[in-house]
Structure 1
Amino acid sequence: MTIIKRIVPVIFLAANIFIAKAQTIVAVESQKNALVLQVTPKKQLNALYFGTKLANQSEYAAIAKQYRYISHTGEANMAYSTAGSIDILEPALAVTHADGNRSLALKYVDHTTTKISDNITLVSINLRDSVYNFDVTLNYQTYIKENVTEQWTVIKHHEKKDVVLNKYASANLYLQSDGYWLNHYHGEWAQEMKPEEEKLSHGIKTLDSKLGTRADLFQPPVFMVSLNKPATEDEGEVLYGNLEWSGNYKIDFEVDPNNNLRLIAGINNHAADYTLKPNTEFVTPKFVYILSDKGKGDASRSLQSWARKYKIADGEGPRLTLLNNWESTFFDFNEPKLAELLKTTKTLGVDLFLLDDGWFGNKYPRNGDKSGLGDWEVTKNKLPNGIAYLTKTAAEAGVKFGIWIEPEMVNPKSELYEKHPDWVVKQPQRPEYYMRNQLVLDLTNPKVQDFVYGIVDDLFTKNPTLAYIKWDCNSVIFNANSATIAHQGNFYTDYVFGLYKVLERIRAKYPKVPLMLCSGGGGRVDYGALKYFTEFWDSDNTDPLERVFIQWEYSYFYPALTSSNHVTDWGKQPIKFRTDVAMMGKLGFDIVVAKLKPEELTYAQGAVSLYKEYSEAIWHGDQYRLQDPWKNDVASVMYVDPNQSKAIMFNYLVSNRYRSGTIRPITLKGLLDDKMYTIKEVNMMPGQRSSIPGGTYSGKFLMTVGINPAVGAGDRASVIVSIEEK
């Protein structure tokens, strides 16, 4: 952080020049970038610049000379815009004071810089309203080497009565460019992460969710904005953004009259006017972003590195391979069936057996999705000896044991619903509406928080060797209303705060247990949740061809070790193709091992062994997307270990057109020019012969000429290539 005082002329109107007196410049710097803010003589905090860091820091003060702002108020580039005063564009913050007044005009007070570590700096800028006793602190936490910034806001007031927050964004960025191309995503169940790119025009484009839970079902809180022209994998200036929040969100993109982009991101204020008591801090979720001038690949690798180091639970640790029973048994299982599956878990060579839905409920047994949810007691006629028997059987088989739960939800046909109807989110005057035959529990209620925490704690207390939890969430919130809170406008926001309180308690007591974040597929994937979870379930769609595209798009924002990919019977592809696709992340299986043909079992066992050999590169290495499945017959992606001595390249045929495949070589990335690397095809079916031109090549050759993985129809539809330093 740099403070510079200079005489800076700032031009706001074509016809008026305001000569500034001594002004404070705050430069929030990373290794490559700088976000530059300016305090005007009237104590207004403006955004001047966001881009490549300048070598001469004193020149930041001269930036304002270079721009002509056409503005009637001089507030078009406020660092945190407010409603009701003289800013007439979209606000980041809007409030209703205790006396009913709805204006706010924040002025700069001071700022502090805290060095959290050699790589992390926190700049906190204090603002105060000029009339009301109302304070806002803007926080910019920068991860210097990764060029990543987390931004959030702390809102507090000292008025005599409650104040209502009508909008309360986490961040308000200001970007200057000749044009802006927004890449965002839409979807539905089993259709997650479908990309769309459009040029932003004047006015406002909004990405948002109003679903309450499973908030990413239609649209996730991630995006890219390319500046000047659409960025490619290796070229162009691009901003990645991701709101760390597991509920309703709103991200506004406003191209203003000066052709600059105002970006406002935070909790969705729809039906969420938040009542804030005096002397109480409201802390918004963090908005994480990274700006790269070297294209999408550079931005995603930096974001992935940051996430592993600083955000994801055990992000620098290992992951467990597993066998899940869901698609092999669904709800139809008992102890003998599961005991047999536990044995095949060891045969397959994976680390853990995961018991999915259907193990609980007695008065209303969980034999389908219409009953039992909420009654977390073992179904006696299915599992007479309880979970303890299964954990013991797993240990005897030489594998770990994990279990599925959906603790935020309840079936109306359950003992929990009968005992505690007031714990359920519903409007008392309206008919109940169900999604997957269930309702949502009210996590704004401390008693419900204790109950949900108790589900997990009870499982671990009774089964101390339990090694894994799959946490599901299958319903959105309909008829939003809490029976216990006074201000219903607080509900959507306090629900997520309640969820986080539960997860914080779980992580405090069980800090290392792997937790999978599942939400009917990718319905809840964000860094607010991944702070507590080791991985997420990308989609219930496990067709491997579909998964190539889904996993590809998630990889822009999340590292491979968070992406849970299972080999199932979805799709028409052979087991090799299915397994190769699942290896591009955190590998799991959801098949009946006993039904595999001998050669398929041999292949699968070898694939698990190979996966573990290259897991360091996949989990903790750099990812390079080599060939886009949306634009080519073949998708290609590689992972390079941190030492650049070992890499693995995945190639998948995604087109069945005549003669589709790799005609030309694919150039590799991330290697060292002067190192020699041995290339060979791996993970082949028994008896299959390689068709690639193997051998030893320099890194320069591989990254200039490349190699042809010989992908084509039939047994060449999926090809994995290993690259190892000689």
Structure 2
Amino acid sequence: MSKKLLSILFFLAVITLAAKSETIHIATRETELVLQTAQNGRLYQLYLGPRLAVPDDYSLLTAKMKSRSDGQAWEAYPVSGTETYFEPAFGIRHNDGNQATVLQYVSHTAKKVSDDVTETTIILKDVLYPVQVKLYYRTFAKDNIIESWTEISHTEKKPVNISQYASSMLYWKRNQYFLTEFSGDWAKEVNMSTVPLSFGKKVVDTKLGARANMHVSPFFTVGLGGAPRENEGEVLMGTLAWTGNFRFTFEVDNENNLRVVSGINPYASDYTLDPGKVFKTPSFIFTLSGQGTGKGSRDLHRWARNYQLKDGKGDRLTLLNNWEATGFDFNEQKLHDLFTEAKDLGVDMFLLDDGWFANKYPRHSDTQGLGDWQPTTAKLPNGVPALVKGAKDAGVKFGIWIEPEMVSQKSELFEKHPDWVILLPNRERYYFRNQLVLDLSNPAVQEHVFGVIDHLMTENPQLAYLKWDCNSPITNIYSPYLKDRQNNLYVDYVRGLYKVLDRIKEKYPNLPMMLCSGGGGRTDYEGLRYFTEFWPSDNTDPVQRLFIQWGYSQFFPSKAIAAHVTSWNHDANIKFRVDVAMQGKLGFDINVKGMRPEEQAFCKSAVANYERLKDVNYNGDQYRLVSPYDGNHTAMMYVSESRKQAIVYAYDVFPLFSENLVAVKCQGLDPAAKYRVKEINLMPGAQPDEAFNGKVYSGDYLMKIGLDLFTSTKLHSRILELEAAE
């Protein structure tokens, strides 16, 4: 049977299926996406919104389905080169140079992954070319989360070139749209700004490769019908699980329809795909909330703890880091003294930061040594094992900093393997922080990076924690390994990183790791499959951290956001700095001996409070009560799943003279329950506010009337513990 006849038979089969008008329902408990085939055999979005109470009502929407033959149709995965007038999801160049593909529905299946999770697979094929696209949708019913991704494959005689390969294409019809994006730079990450979307395209993307999120984060919020609000209104909250270049395209067409296209940024990445190989896109994860961003965030947090975040339901280690106390200037004795300080402070672990490695070019600054992961004998004559043992003897665990994807030009590794480095062969070299990026598209480099971790862990099986840093974007985009497929580098680099992390996770499944990238340069949910937490910013000024932590809280649970107490901002007292850090995963990077005795006593007491209440912080529902963007004060609270415990954080930043202060209204409590209020984290000798401390209030009162927590004192903070009274 000829290929031409097979194509004709396939086309007839597609037309027969299309005549049946297949309808596909993809639903959580609250949200439903409905896809439907049209007479032309193609697949279109029929509905995306709140789940309808009466299932038969969906049939009423079918009447609105046009023939779907014009360029303004809501095709589920539109392609370039046909009648798609607006941003496509998919672009391809076939062996014969043709740049068009028409994808038609073939079949779909739905399977239960668990009681709460369903995965739907839809197969689309081209009638004329052997190209197949599979659309995947995974729904998390209870958490109201939908995850979507795509698999692209072909059996043409030679490789094809795919120029666009979105993970998701979604549509809305509203009278207006508003986008909240999260942008910034080193030490000023996740600045929230909201802009209206009108006719045309708004693109949010990154082209930095390794440290991809340095200027913009891979998540967004769209207000559907109005600007996003905390507790009301319809919002889309979406994020891409990809530790590399991403692109979100928001396009409003001539009929005021909004298209949201999410996926890898195809910039310099028109990917060469071999026959029989599968190109899998990263997951786009989204939730629709009819109760504002607060509800959307809580759904995302719960989903992350249950399904995505490494050890999402587990504990986290409090720690003391040495960087502020020593910088690069340390030796074994200094570190042993810090082990004792960590134990006295009451934290779980001591974390050794940068500067412990390299011998030919010892790491005394950031100008050399990266890649040579042997302990510097002049500093640490007995190596890492002696440090692990010393920490254990002092009563704390031991963790260590690494940056295994990077190399210094001044290093033994670079001298031995310049071919392992992403580096332009015929132009001036460009450095970022005096370093270059190793070529993780190369299996030999993957083996090397895995070996760095494996050696550390094999030599030190009691090593308790890794802080994995990545300080440089890719600045010299050329791979000696990929040769004539340089356009695959940005994608294959990330895939190489995942191969390394998969091996580490398989061999050391219980190893906690921090995802760090010069601050918040990597903040995505695919990375967090391998890491228990991330470092949101090198900026630890507590005032700035209130904004930074507020921004990240939109998408990530508190146990994933590392927050350290440092000496940044001497205008803020130690209580304010600690109270801010206690919102997240608490750590200290401060010269403990340099603090006054009463400050040290306060920190010990605060650590004890944190350990006692951290389950509420880590696993409770978060409610953002007062935004730092709205004025001179901010407040946030966490409520346990049982609603029997809660923690309220309130901060006066820069209050105005004679400012009109309003009560802080709680959220998420049981209105019928009685709660005893207790102020905690007080400096030695300080007295709690008798106006509310020790008193009992109903949950209804606390949510409708609230408590007078704000003051006119600059850089003042309060933490309240609420406990249901028997």
Q: Does TM, scored on the shorter chain, surpass 0.5? A: yes
TM class by shorter-chain length?
A: over 0.9
What is the TM-score normalised by the length of structure 1?
Answer: 0.96
After superposing the two structures, state which structure 1 stretch, 615-624 or 594-603, moved more: 594-603
* 1:510-549 CA distance string (max 9 Å, x none): 1111100000000010001001000000100000000000
The alignment status of 1:240 with 2:231, answered yes or no, reads no
Shift of residue 147 of structure 1?
0.8
- After TM superposition, the structure 1 = structure 2 runs for residues 471-486 of structure 1, keeping only pairs within 5 Å, are 471-485=468-482, 486=484
Give the corresponding residue for 2:310: 313
User: 541, 545, 548: which is aligned to 1:547?
Assistant: 545
Structure 2: how far apart are the matches of 1:542 and 1:371? 26
Shift of residue 327 of structure 1?
1.4
Give the corresponding residue for 1:279: 276
Shift of residue 98 of structure 1?
1.2
Shift of residue 65 of structure 1?
3.0
Does the Cα contact within 8 Å between 2:71 and 2:85 map onto a contact in 1?
Answer: no
- After TM superposition, the structure 1 = structure 2 runs for residues 93-492 of structure 1, keeping only pairs within 5 Å, are 93-485=90-482, 486-492=484-490
Shift of residue 693 of structure 1?
1.8
* 1:130-156 CA distance string (max 9 Å, x none): 210000000000000111011000001
Structure 1: how far apart are the matches of 2:646 and 2:367? 47
Shift of residue 339 of structure 1?
0.6
Does the Cα contact within 8 Å between 2:652 and 2:710 map onto a contact in 1?
Answer: no
Give the corresponding residue for 1:29: 27
Structure 2: how far apart are the matches of 1:430 and 1:575? 50
Give the corresponding residue for 1:612: 611
Does the Cα contact within 8 Å between 1:674 and 1:699 map onto a contact in 2?
Answer: yes
Shift of residue 66 of structure 1?
4.6
Give the corresponding residue for 1:577: 576
Give the corresponding residue for 2:722: 723
Structure 2: how far apart are the matches of 1:58 and 1:152? 29
Change (3 A) 1:74 1:411: closer
Q: Which amino acid letter does the alignment assign opposite residue 413 of structure 2?
A: L
> Any idea what SS the aligned residue of 1:513 has?
coil
Q: Which amino acid letter does the alignment assign opposite residue 229 of structure 1?
A: G
Shift of residue 41 of structure 1?
1.6
Shift of residue 657 of structure 1?
3.0
Structure 2: how far apart are the matches of 1:710 and 1:570? 23
Shift of residue 645 of structure 1?
0.5
> Any idea what SS the aligned residue of 1:512 has?
coil
What is the TM-score normalised by the length of structure 2?
Answer: 0.96
Q: Which amino acid letter does the alignment assign opposite residue 197 of structure 2?
A: L
Structure 1: how far apart are the matches of 2:333 and 2:594? 17
> Any idea what SS the aligned residue of 2:526 has?
helix
The number of aligned residues is 704
* Runs of 5+ consecutive residues of structure 2 not aligned to the other structure: 1-17
Structure 1: how far apart are the matches of 2:238 and 2:464? 33
Does the Cα contact within 8 Å between 1:25 and 1:61 map onto a contact in 2?
Answer: no
Does the Cα contact within 8 Å between 1:181 and 1:227 map onto a contact in 2?
Answer: yes
Q: Which amino acid letter does the alignment assign opposite residue 102 of structure 1?
A: Q
Structure 1: how far apart are the matches of 2:228 and 2:365? 47
Structure 1: how far apart are the matches of 2:657 and 2:377? 56
Does the Cα contact within 8 Å between 2:211 and 2:472 map onto a contact in 1?
Answer: yes
User: 35, 44, 47: which is aligned to 1:46?
Assistant: 44
> Any idea what SS the aligned residue of 2:364 has?
coil
Structure 1: how far apart are the matches of 2:510 and 2:176? 45
Change (3 A) 1:710 1:170: closer
Shift of residue 713 of structure 1?
1.1
Give the corresponding residue for 1:517: 515
Change (3 A) 1:678 1:198: same
The alignment status of 1:507 with 2:505, answered yes or no, reads yes
> Any idea what SS the aligned residue of 1:291 has?
strand
The alignment status of 1:628 with 2:627, answered yes or no, reads yes
Give the corresponding residue for 2:702: 702
Q: Which amino acid letter does the alignment assign opposite residue 255 of structure 1?
A: V
Give the corresponding residue for 1:5: none
User: 566, 569, 589: which is aligned to 1:568?
Assistant: 566
Q: Which amino acid letter does the alignment assign opposite residue 414 of structure 1?
A: S
Q: Which amino acid letter does the alignment assign opposite residue 366 of structure 1?
A: R
> Any idea what SS the aligned residue of 1:614 has?
helix
Identity of aligned residues (%): 49
Structure 2: how far apart are the matches of 1:544 and 1:673? 33
Shift of residue 174 of structure 1?
1.1
> Any idea what SS the aligned residue of 2:712 has?
coil
Structure 2: how far apart are the matches of 1:151 and 1:75? 22
* 1:460-501 CA distance string (max 9 Å, x none): 100111000000000001120100114111000000000000
> Any idea what SS the aligned residue of 1:524 has?
coil
Give the corresponding residue for 1:4: none
* 1:667-701 CA distance string (max 9 Å, x none): 10010011000012110101111224230011011
Q: Which amino acid letter does the alignment assign opposite residue 421 of structure 1?
A: P
Give the corresponding residue for 1:529: 527
Structure 2: how far apart are the matches of 1:657 and 1:417? 56
Q: Which amino acid letter does the alignment assign opposite residue 647 of structure 2?
A: I
Structure 1: how far apart are the matches of 2:19 and 2:130? 27
Structure 2: how far apart are the matches of 1:43 and 1:579? 60
Give the corresponding residue for 2:647: 648
Q: Which amino acid letter does the alignment assign opposite residue 401 of structure 1?
A: F
| Superposed structure 1 runs of 4+ greater than 4 Å apart | 66-69
* 1:85-117 CA distance string (max 9 Å, x none): 121211110000111111011000000001100
> Any idea what SS the aligned residue of 1:361 has?
coil
> Any idea what SS the aligned residue of 1:549 has?
helix
Does the Cα contact within 8 Å between 2:616 and 2:639 map onto a contact in 1?
Answer: yes
> Any idea what SS the aligned residue of 1:41 has?
coil
